[in-house]
Amino acid sequence: MLAGVLIFGVIFFRMRGGSFDWGRFASTLYQVDWMWLTASMLLMLLTYLLRALRWEVMLRPSGRHPGIRRLTYDTAIGFTASALLGRVGEVVRPYLISVSAGVSFSSQLAAWLLERILDLLSILLLFGFALLRASARRSQIGAELERVLTAGGYLAGIFGFVFIILLVVFRNFSDFAQERILSALRVLPDKYYVHSVKLLTSLARGLDSTREPRLLALLVLYTILLWGAIVGSYYFLFHSFRAIASLTITDVIVILGFMGFGSIVQLPGVGGGLQVVCILCLTRIYGVPLEIATGIAIFIWLLTFVVVVPFGMLCAAHEGWNWRKIRQLAVEQVPKEEPL
């Protein structure tokens, strides 16, 4: 992924007819302000505690309380597995939490699905804000990019509307909604129909923690705090670089909104579009030189995926987890035979 970001930066510059200034790129990396960068990393680590607190709310309907410390450890280990193993490592976190809480793995897959929906809605909200702010910079972004952003805005609106409708329907009319949707999906081949049944069952089960107004309010609160901490972490990170230290919190939200939407799209050879979108956003909207934008994108990769790895490895050792076993569980996608 790191190599992919760098290669993209060089290719993009050459396509524009310029040469990549390696000296400027290197200075971007070693002239970083470590005080701001340390604050950024600490705030990003705080987000894993907030994720654990949010997950604890989703566990409450089961009556299980493994403790915030244990959930934080499982969260850090899970994100470390995702960083080291890719998408296949995402199942590690719900599996570890199911073991810690003494509940079924399928129930925690349901909680994981709800978490993803909450984060996706947050990303769509940030992206919508980013589009509104970017529209005020038409002279800088150009007509072509403006058309792309407009199309993205419509797509984000459709996604957001569909997810909100799904949440409302499944929260209030779960059995009826499943019956109607599965009836319409019977035209699918058996393999895909079974997968659809599992997905809908997981969604309905994950929404159990939203049926009580107090728990729903807590989920919303922790989601707001989580994304507030993420915005703050990126604000500190951007202030680590002189070239963009003047960016306001609004500018950071705009960039994060585009990056968040870009992270939904997976790019071959790079993994996620988050860093690539960051480069495009900094260069096309804010006029940052490509060498500096590429260096910043590398630090974003470190902040987003790597900063948790040492902490996750320590947590795994403290909890007595063998990392080879965790990797094996991830590759095997943890007990596949357990139905959702």
Residue pair 73/101 in contact (Cβ under 8 Å)? The answer is no
- Chain centroid to CA 45: 14
pTM of the model: 0.80
Domain limits of the chain? 32-64+103-268+300-306
Under-50 pLDDT residues of the chain: 1-7, 10-11, 14-15, 266-272, 334-340
Predicted local distance difference test score (pLDDT) of residue 333: 53
Dump pLDDT digits (tens) for 43-75.
999 999 999 999 999 998 888 888 999 999 999
Q: Helix H segments across the chain?
A: 2-15, 22-30, 34-59, 68-85, 92-101, 105-134, 138-172, 174-184, 190-206, 213-238, 249-264, 274-284, 290-301, 308-318, 323-331
Residue 324, burial from CB neighbour count under 10 angstroms (0-12, 13-18, 19+): exposed
CA distance 95 to 237: 32
CA distance 329 to 88: 9
CA distance 297 to 279: 6
Predicted local distance difference test score (pLDDT) of residue 162: 75
CA distance 3 to 18: 20
Predicted local distance difference test score (pLDDT) of residue 1: 47
Quick one: CA torsion of 184, 189, 195, 197, rounded to 10 degrees?
A: 30
- Chain centroid to CA 75: 14
Long-range contact set of residues 71-74: C-beta below 8 Å, sequence gap at least 24: 71/97, 71/100, 72/48, 72/315, 73/315, 73/318, 73/319, 74/100, 74/315
Dump pLDDT digits (tens) for 91-148.
889 989 988 998 888 788 888 888 988 898 888 888 777 777 665 555 555 565 566 6
Place of tokens 């990549």: 20
Task: Please say whether the dihedral angle defined by the alpha carbons of residues 192, 195, 201 and 205, taken in this order, is positive or negative.
Answer: negative
Predicted local distance difference test score (pLDDT) of residue 15: 46
Six token digits for residue 114: 């709800």
Helix axes 138-172, 274-284, angle to 10 degrees: 140
Neighbours of 30 (CB within 10 A): 7
Predicted local distance difference test score (pLDDT) of residue 338: 43
Q: What are residue 17's phi and psi, to 5 degrees?
A: 85, 15
Residue 327, burial from CB neighbour count under 10 angstroms (0-12, 13-18, 19+): middle
